[in-house]
Amino acid sequence: MTRVLIFTATVGEGHDLPARTLAEQLRNESPDSEIVTEDGLRAMGRGFVLVNQKAPGIVFFHFQWLWDATFWLCVGFAPTRRLTQAVVHAFGSRGVLRVVRRLRPDVIVSVYPMTTEVLGKLRRSGRLDIPVVAGITDLAAMHYWAAPGIDLHLVIHAESIEEVREVAGADTDVVAVRGLTRPEFAEPCDPPAARAALDLPADGKVVLVSGGGWGVGDLESAVDTALDLNVAVVVCLCGRNESLRARLVARYAGEERVRLVGFTEQMNEWLAAGDALIHSTGGLTVLEAYVRGCPTISYGWGRGHIRANNAAFRRYGFAEVVQTKGELDRALRGALATRHAPGLALAALPSAASLVLALVT
């Protein structure tokens, strides 16, 4: 029996979702395998939980400049990046190794950057003799995601491969895969059927506004801008941010065109039904919108690693990036004028599970 250990972190859906979808794919492809998912931050210690899981709930909403500064200092600036890595290794390795020795997996997958960094160092130093896979769900900022010593990097964007090799080494194995996103995105989805399933009008434009799992960014301006146009419905996806949802309920009371949605497992249907997406963070949602042909505008946050992703969105044409309400109005008018053709390239990619399992056979 093969045992797979997946390290995630409860810091937004950008990590937990890939962990869940990969675990499901592994079980489907290898029913006899045992899949164990662990919170990498908890394994590394309470200090890591406090700084990386608890603090963002304050910093992301009240001290956004601090996230920008911290990301630049710990990731963007090489000398302090190396110092940060050394500190993470020194204080986080013992807890990670403790989990590994307790569970005795045949292969390890990390979908959280900090545990990926620790595992890469353990592999390079010879302290870990188990193959390690890194799952990457951002388009850019690979100093934050990739690491030398990792046996295999799995990416959701083929465009990320070159940057991964710049960080992890020219000879590192990097493969674009399916399996880190919801499986339904590898199949067609009929927009009229999606609208019917979501109780949306059959006619008229539908604009989606998303703040990711955290519900961050200037979502009110995005909703207001969409309402100023001739749209049938503006759907605000609030993620797990209940205070945001309560605030928007009060703000848009009586506005029949606004629909507020909490955390949802129906992103496939929402993106098939929508005519445009205004999104404040990067990661999986932008790829999913691209697959469904839903034009995407990045607006309203753009902090930390999202700055690097925004630059890549522009470079590769995954999303239009805007800064002001005037720019948003122009971009949204353009997005609503033409919907892209759906792309099903995910279906042609190898499964993440098959590559993970191949490391132990």
Enclosing H/E stretch for 298: strand 296-298
Q: How confident is the model at residue 53 (pLDDT cuts 50, 70, 90)?
A: low
Does residue 59 have a pLDDT over 60? no
Q: What is the pLDDT of residue 213?
A: 79
Q: What is the pLDDT of residue 31?
A: 95
Residue at token pair 């997958």: 109
C-alpha neighbours within 13 Å on the C-beta side of residue 260: 20
Number of domains in the chain: 2
Which two structure tokens, joined as six digits, stand for 38? 């662990």
Same structural domain for residues 253 and 274?
A: yes
**Structure confidence by residue, pLDDT tens digits, 164-221:** 999 999 989 999 999 999 999 989 999 999 999 999 999 999 999 998 877 888 999 9
**Structure confidence by residue, pLDDT tens digits, 226-277:** 999 989 999 999 988 888 999 999 999 989 999 999 989 999 999 999 999 9
Q: What is the pLDDT of residue 61?
A: 60
Does residue 23 have a pLDDT over 90? yes
Q: What is the pLDDT of residue 152?
A: 98
Same structural domain for residues 272 and 316?
A: yes
Closest CA to 309 of 56, 140, 156, 169: 140
Same structural domain for residues 121 and 151?
A: yes
The answer to whether 90 touches 127, Cβ cutoff 8 Å, is: no
Burial of 18 (0-12, 13-18, 19+ CB in 10 A): buried
**Structure confidence by residue, pLDDT tens digits, 279-289:** 998 778 999 99
Measure Cα distances from 205 to 6, 290, 335, 337 in Å. 40, 18, 11, 10
Same structural domain for residues 227 and 304?
A: yes
As a 3-state breakdown, the chain gives helix, strand, coil percent values, each rounded to 5, of 50, 15, 35
Q: How confident is the model at residue 306 (pLDDT cuts 50, 70, 90)?
A: confident
Same structural domain for residues 303 and 203?
A: yes
Same structural domain for residues 248 and 132?
A: no
Q: What is the pLDDT of residue 51?
A: 67
- Average pLDDT, rounded, for the chain: 91
Q: What is the pLDDT of residue 270?
A: 97
Q: What is the pLDDT of residue 62?
A: 61
Which two structure tokens, joined as six digits, stand for 212? 């990711």
CATH of the domain at 319: 3.40.50.2000
Same structural domain for residues 48 and 179?
A: yes
Q: What is the pLDDT of residue 226?
A: 97
Give the domain range for residue 146.
3-183+347-358
Same structural domain for residues 236 and 165?
A: no
Span 150-170, average pLDDT: 96
Same structural domain for residues 212 and 150?
A: no
In sequence order, the 6+-apart residues with CB closer than 8 A to the CB of 334 are 295, 320
Same structural domain for residues 174 and 204?
A: no
The answer to whether 95 touches 103, Cβ cutoff 8 Å, is: no
Span 289-312, average pLDDT: 89
Q: What is the pLDDT of residue 295?
A: 95
Same structural domain for residues 179 and 259?
A: no
CATH of the domain at 121: 3.40.50
Does residue 14 have a pLDDT over 80? no
Measure Cα distances from 213 to 51, 216, 261 in Å. 18, 8, 12
Same structural domain for residues 170 and 234?
A: no
**Structure confidence by residue, pLDDT tens digits, 60-81:** 666 677 777 778 777 888 899 8
Check residue 326 and give left, alpha or beta (phi > 0: left; psi -120 to 50: alpha): alpha
The pLDDT > 70 percentage for the chain reads 95
Span 80-109, average pLDDT: 93
The pTM of this model reads: 0.91
Q: How confident is the model at residue 54 (pLDDT cuts 50, 70, 90)?
A: low
Alpha-carbon span 118 to 85, nearest angstrom: 8
Sign of CA dihedral 109, 312, 300, 209: negative
Span 318-330, average pLDDT: 95
Measure Cα distances from 15 to 20, 263, 264, 293 in Å. 9, 15, 16, 24
Alpha-carbon span 155 to 150, nearest angstrom: 13
